[in-house]
Amino acid sequence: MKLNKIWMAAAIAGTVGATACKKEGFISYNTNPGTIYNLKPEEQFANGVVATFEADFEYFYDYYRIMMPWMQYHTPQNGNGKTFMSEVGNFNQRRGYFYSRVGNVLTDVQQIIDAMPAGEKDKYQHERAIATILKVYYAVYTTDINGSMPYTNAFQARYGGTMTPTYDNQQGLYNTFENELKASINTLKTASGQASYGNADMFYKGDAQSWVKAANALRVRIAMRLMKRDAAKAKSIATEALANAGDNFGSNADNLDFVTSFEHTGSGNNWDPTGAIFRAPKAMIDFLYSTNDPRLRMMFQKNSYTQENFDLAKAQEKLPPTAVFNPRQYVGSFASPDAAADPANAKYYTTRTIRKNGADLVLDTLSRIQYRLFCPGSNGGTGKVTFPLLTYAELCFYRAELAVRSVVGAPGDAEAWYEKGVKASMAYYSQIAKDAAVVEFSEATGAEIDAAYNAPKVKWAAANGLEQIAVQSYINFFKQANEGWSVYKRTGYPSATSTIFPWERVMADGVEQVMPRRAIFGIPVSTDRNYVNAKAAYDDMAKDPEFGQGPTDILGRVWWDKK
């Protein structure tokens, strides 16, 4: 059974100290090289975990305002503007976070342990392996849209290493990640007599086998990125990672996710999407509604047109007397700027204000995202927020895809893994929505999940298998927009030409908009300390004709994202 992962300072005080999870600690160890030697591995690991999830600017910019609109997970209040796919100000927060908040802290854990006397150091190899797995996770996330980056000799200045680290190219990075993950798994499976992070590990309480499973799930994610570039390597990694059932996620209880109090994200701040009035996307709403998918109510709110409110609107002459009540309360916003601006669709964006119980009430035709799924403190909520990193559903979809492609397993295995993935995703969203106390929550029952799976566009059909897997993966990644984006880049799904899940064609002034592929890279200047290495890395990436027109071309591709 998964351990309780609700983080509160008091819960870890006995293990890592009352100051272990405060920003002041980050500042101290970054400005005072001597500080690191006074920290325990547990303290610094806890700092690294919290730093991973203190990314409020990342959610404000990268998720809410860039990746989620691109991927049609929501739209702004009045639909997307004509230039929304090229507005990338403050995008790519992850790169700075990796070097200033996460990777450096987890490197400290490794260094603290490596500096111990031999007899003591031997007892901390599990802790070192776990820190390495989390560091690799964030490095994979960072390179995903950045390509080449410093890694193997980064974070070494305070330990007598270089202050001008070279850049590892992405192919080399994936090889390094694979080697580090394999070594960490071996350590976790063989080293005995080990110290434990205990409460400092806010994922698995230091449980070694849980981290083995997470590391293998990450290896499979890497393998999927390699499919178009190095199919043999992808097959080798996936085959080895999936060889032992006991070393892989077997249910949602194994998920690598961070679950914490509403106080973590607060309310009325960068985490809180309430003020932006993000509206539900038409394509996903229509699909989930037509298939009676329980995730519909976990991800999106009903609109405000209840029968009672509709009747009041008619009685107060806010609606014409001929208006007919529509019981469907899940209505999506157009992702296409042209469609949102079309006068024929103005009715969807028109609100009406009625008087109810002595107060004004605004009636909105369009549904909104479930704000509390992202920020449980919204509108006075007191639930818990979940940050998924690696999940059983994701792994199931990968296994289904690998089987369809005859990479690992036979094509006949795909259906079973696909069904497990769909049902695990539905159950998981039910749990995280319950924890978040989303509006009008009702738990998804087993019978409801079974019925939703058996909907014609959801139930496995071998002829459309790859598309079904991609579509369900995309839906599953509603809380992980970067991974939904990666599915699209890998597979081309969702697609506007689909008969299963017709994504909306995004048009601006009659011109179809092209999906961006990566982040803008800052152009190095000669006065930068690491100018020579940065320029060499960019010049090397530019040798690939798919890189695009230069560092600022968001339509260009990093190495793994091959056409």
Report which secondary-structure segment, H or E, holds 512: strand 511-512
List of E strands, 296-448: 352-356, 359-363, 384-390
Over residues 527-538, the mean pLDDT reads: 96
Q: Residue 350: its pLDDT value, please?
A: 96
Over residues 30-48, the mean pLDDT reads: 76
pTM of the model: 0.94
How many beta carbons lie within 10 A of that of residue 397, not counting itself? 29
pLDDT in tens, 406-443: 999 999 999 999 999 999 999 999 999 999 999 999 99
Q: Residue 4: its pLDDT value, please?
A: 41
Q: Residue 135: its pLDDT value, please?
A: 98
d(CA 395, CA 557): 25
Least confident of 15-24, 91-100, 292-301, 310-319: 15-24
Q: What is the DSSP string of 433-497?
A: HHHHT-TT--PPPHHHHHHHHTSTTTS--GGGHHHHHHHHHHHHGGG-HHHHHHHHHHH--SBTT
- Chain-wide mean pLDDT for the chain? 93
Residue 64 has, within 13 A of its CA and on its CB side, a CA count of: 26
Q: What is the DSSP string of 17-52?
A: -TTTTSHHHHHHHHH-GGGGGGS-HHHHHHHHHHHH
**487, 480, 484: which is closest to 224 by C-alpha?**
487
d(CA 46, CA 256): 15
**394, 375, 396: which is closest to 385 by C-alpha?**
375
Please list, in sequence order, all residues whose beta carbon lies within 8 angstroms of the beta carbon of residue 456, skipping any fewer than 6 positions away.
none
Query: Which residue has better confidence, 182 or 8?
Result: 182
Least confident of 10-14, 165-169, 471-475, 523-527: 10-14
d(CA 130, CA 211): 7
Beta bridge partners of 359: 356
d(CA 163, CA 234): 34
Q: If pLDDT is split at 50, 70 and 90, which confidence band does 36 have? A: low
Q: Residue 483: its pLDDT value, please?
A: 98
Asked if 273 and 377 touch (Cβ cutoff 8 Å), the reply is no
d(CA 73, CA 558): 24
pLDDT in tens, 377-417: 999 999 999 999 999 999 999 999 999 999 999 999 999 99
Q: Residue 37: its pLDDT value, please?
A: 60
d(CA 533, CA 452): 52
d(CA 13, CA 36): 19
Please list, in sequence order, all residues whose beta carbon lies within 8 angstroms of the beta carbon of residue 110, skipping any fewer than 6 positions away.
128, 131, 132, 135
d(CA 563, CA 547): 11
d(CA 282, CA 79): 11
Q: Residue 522: its pLDDT value, please?
A: 85
pLDDT in tens, 314-324: 999 999 999 99
pLDDT in tens, 103-154: 999 999 999 999 999 989 999 999 999 999 999 999 999 999 999 999 999 9
| Percent of the chain surpassing pLDDT 90 | 92
CA torsion, points 336, 341, 346, 348, in degrees to nearest 10? 20
Amino acid occupying residue 34: G
